[in-house]
Structure 1
Amino acid sequence: MDRKRALIYPYDSESAFLLRFNHLNKVFNSVGVVSPRGWALVGKDAGTADGGGEIGLIVAKDFEEYNDKDYDAVVLVDSFKELDFEKIVYPKLELQVSKGKGIISLTKIESYHLKLLEDLCNSNNVSFQSFVDDKKPNMPKLTNILDIDVPVIFVLGLGDRTQKFNIQLSLWEGLKRLGYNVSQIGSKSYGSIFGFHSFPDFMLSDDISEQNKVILFNRMVKRIEINEKPDVIIIGVPGGIMAINKDIAQGFGIIPYMISQAVKADASILSIYYEEYSEDFFKEIELLAKYRFRATIDCFNLSNIKIDYAEVEQSKQMSYLMVDKAFIDDKKNKYKGVNKPFFNIFNENDQRDIVQYIVDVLSGEEAIEDVL
């Protein structure tokens, strides 16, 4: 299937991974990005958004900066700052649809707005595709937990925006390159564009009890094991593993807890914020993982995102600062006494090394057979 040439909108750090892992995308080829003027990205390299290094695309302020012949569709994505759909987003999409451009949605849209978009695309005879997984599950009759008989890798985060999805994509690509048959549940709702499973919508539903979510997730992973016969399963865990403080709850680690009760990890990666940490912090976080999530933290990824605590305290809203990726490699060396490896997922060598390290961890436990 030929990939559609697409422009990403509204572009910011939340969608930068689509460019960095564009070669893995099976649905569309990202050929450009459009960002609102006030987001301080227009005219800059798209890599500025996540601080992970240059990508080679310049951020445009509007779709009109691109030739109509150069793209086939617009990809609607999540962004850190929310835009008014009816006042800002819809008019832009309406103009693009009138030019014959299809719409690809990677974000959950309210039912009323979704109907507007579907009707708009239908009336203009252009395609509308939504890759958000919102299927309603059927509750199994038995409520016991089934064992998963292949190794499972957790990708956890101390909080949001810690590059967990970049890690997941690096593992997905790297393990496949080594010859393993890999199955994966991504931490986002549109993993299917990369060829793996999306994070199930039922885990976020208010209509399903926490107990039933645990059972349903366990059954989902078991079906993947039976149907796909993987050598290893990667599970990207959304959200943070705990509240940072009373102002930064991050879901209180509830979703990671439910996932850990549904499936036991054989190896785990924890991605953390860029901060000054004591060795005691890492000891405590490993105890937390062991007793709350039944998991051993095998290595850490140090992200380039730092919480802006002063702004959070003042505004009572999440705020982040971005650190140049060059500082991460220096910071990693300060934690050698922790006795666990630290990686920088924006470093190409670390992208390869973290894959090999996880293989070594699992091979040491004789959990992955040598399939090469």
Structure 2
Amino acid sequence: MKERIAIYPFTRELSSFILYKDQLKNYELVFAITPRGWDKFEDQKDRFAKIVLDEDTFYLNQCINYVDVLLLCKPILNVDLSLYENIIKLAKINGVKVVYVEELEALLINRIQNNWECLKSHEIVEVKRQEQSSIEVPVISVIGIGENCEKWDVQLGLRDFFLKKGYKVSLISNNKLLKLFGASIFPPVINSTEYKFEQQVGAINSYIKKVELMDSPDLIIIGVPGGIMRYNRYVHNGFGYAPFLVSNAFIPDITVVSLYCGYYEKEQLEEIKRTCLYKLGVNANYFHISSKVSQYNLESKQIDYFSIDQNYVNELVEKNSINGAFFNINKEPKEVFQRILEELHHNIPVM
């Protein structure tokens, strides 16, 4: 029997939990809770009805009685412990298990109970220099221009499309939330400073091969962590090291690049393609226009992210499509996904 799970705080970045709730492996999503004064998703009433509710309604109606697991997430904006205090107390009183993302571990360090679970990767792979194993099934790589550009939405959308077509799909990602959807999570070696570059690449390649042998999939979708390009001299996205590392561990058949919302001149697009080809060794085949825009904050020297109205996103998809194969995950992406399927068809047996 699936456990009933509630998410807090629920934000637009977590919308895929609702859109692909049927893909949750051992959980049934019952509530997505928004803090007081936050976005109430009025524009998504039809899609999110009966799941999204504000914090006060959750408390007033004693909805905690219908929850087995509480998932604590970290929003893009900076928050402190006070945001979580009340709901943590409520979960403790009612014996509700708490699962939390790794990014909250330091913040919650003095509140963590024995029955709590941190979403981490516990995979162990042998780190050694070796010849890389070839992956015998088609691979779709999903990479991003930077952080918070909806890569995980694209990964889940692609998987959903191919699953509904009858294919067996393995998803490998560095996003720990995808663990709840049954995805395989890259081992910690991906972030380790203890090993040489070639050892890390070998370990990642071994892990991908391990997933292939264990799952026997028709297709593997790999979510590549990090951003491929430096934003500016203050925000460098790790200089694209993580995508460079992971992309050296396998050869994709198709690469999807997720971009921030905007219109991309042909010259800009060519620069992105060159970066993908000469830095990562991949051809950028398709482009996803996310609903996020990024803006550099001069005061904090950090990136602020904002959501854009879906109608405007749709317009930009159409405008950008002059220069390439563009889509948005919320604007009927099936036509593009069907093209991807047809490109891969000679590698995927007919079911």
Please report the TM-score for the alignment, with normalisation by the length of structure 1. 0.85
Q: Residue 243 of structure 2 aligns with which residue?
A: 256
For residue 162 of structure 1, what is the amino acid of its counterpart?
A: C
For residue 155 of structure 2, what is the amino acid of its counterpart?
A: Q
Q: Are positions 1:18 and 2:44 aligned together? A: no
- Closer, same or farther: CA 82–27 of 1 in aligned 2, 3 Å: farther
Q: Residue 121 of structure 2 aligns with which residue?
A: 133
Kept after mapping to 2: 8 A contact 1:154/1:234: yes
1:207-233 alpha-carbon deviations (Å, 9 max, x no partner): 344332211101001112222222221
For residue 30 of structure 1, what is the amino acid of its counterpart?
A: L
Q: Residue 124 of structure 1 aligns with which residue?
A: none
* Aligned 1:309-320 pairs, distance under 5 A: 309=296, 312-320=297-305
Aligned residue among 314, 329, 345 for 1:345: 329
Q: Are positions 1:55 and 2:61 aligned together? A: no
* Aligned 1:128-277 pairs, distance under 5 A: 128-140=116-128, 142-277=129-264
- Closer, same or farther: CA 130–45 of 1 in aligned 2, 3 Å: farther
For residue 15 of structure 2, what is the amino acid of its counterpart?
A: A
Kept after mapping to 2: 8 A contact 1:45/1:59: no
Once residues 42 and 5 of structure 2 are traced to their aligned partners in structure 1, the CA distance between those partners, rounded to angstroms, is: 17
For residue 152 of structure 2, what is the amino acid of its counterpart?
A: F
Shift of residue 257, structure 1, vs aligned partner? 0.5
Once residues 5 and 358 of structure 1 are traced to their aligned partners in structure 2, the CA distance between those partners, rounded to angstroms, is: 35
Q: Residue 370 of structure 1 aligns with which residue?
A: 349
Kept after mapping to 2: 8 A contact 1:185/1:234: yes
Aligned residue among 253, 259, 281 for 2:268: 281
Q: Residue 308 of structure 1 aligns with which residue?
A: 295
Once residues 89 and 195 of structure 1 are traced to their aligned partners in structure 2, the CA distance between those partners, rounded to angstroms, is: 26
For residue 59 of structure 1, what is the amino acid of its counterpart?
A: L
Q: Over the residues paired in the alignment, what is the CA RMSD in angstroms?
A: 2.4
Once residues 344 and 112 of structure 1 are traced to their aligned partners in structure 2, the CA distance between those partners, rounded to angstroms, is: 34
1:101-154 alpha-carbon deviations (Å, 9 max, x no partner): 1212343453795685233x4xxxxxx3443214443324x4322222222110
Kept after mapping to 2: 8 A contact 1:279/1:337: no
Q: Residue 100 of structure 1 aligns with which residue?
A: 95
Kept after mapping to 1: 8 A contact 2:224/2:247: no
- Closer, same or farther: CA 211–89 of 1 in aligned 2, 3 Å: farther
Give the share of equivalent positions with the same residue, in percent.
Answer: 25
Q: Residue 295 of structure 1 aligns with which residue?
A: 282
3-state SS of the aligned residue for 1:143? coil
1:170-210 alpha-carbon deviations (Å, 9 max, x no partner): 11111122122211202412423212212333212333443
1:306-325 alpha-carbon deviations (Å, 9 max, x no partner): 1124xx23431110222111
Please report the TM-score for the alignment, with normalisation by the length of structure 2. 0.90
Shift of residue 84, structure 1, vs aligned partner? 2.7
- Closer, same or farther: CA 206–258 of 1 in aligned 2, 3 Å: same
For residue 252 of structure 2, what is the amino acid of its counterpart?
A: A
- Closer, same or farther: CA 44–191 of 1 in aligned 2, 3 Å: closer
Kept after mapping to 2: 8 A contact 1:303/1:344: yes
Kept after mapping to 1: 8 A contact 2:9/2:34: yes
Q: Residue 325 of structure 1 aligns with which residue?
A: 310
For residue 32 of structure 1, what is the amino acid of its counterpart?
A: F
Once residues 46 and 214 of structure 1 are traced to their aligned partners in structure 2, the CA distance between those partners, rounded to angstroms, is: 44
Q: Are positions 1:359 and 2:341 aligned together? A: yes
- Closer, same or farther: CA 205–108 of 1 in aligned 2, 3 Å: farther
* Aligned 1:83-94 pairs, distance under 5 A: 83-85=79-81, 87-90=82-85, 92-94=87-89
Long gaps (5+) in structure 2: none
Long gaps (5+) in structure 1: 122-127
- Closer, same or farther: CA 16–117 of 1 in aligned 2, 3 Å: same
For residue 222 of structure 2, what is the amino acid of its counterpart?
A: I
Once residues 88 and 193 of structure 2 are traced to their aligned partners in structure 1, the CA distance between those partners, rounded to angstroms, is: 31
For residue 79 of structure 1, what is the amino acid of its counterpart?
A: P
Kept after mapping to 2: 8 A contact 1:174/1:355: yes
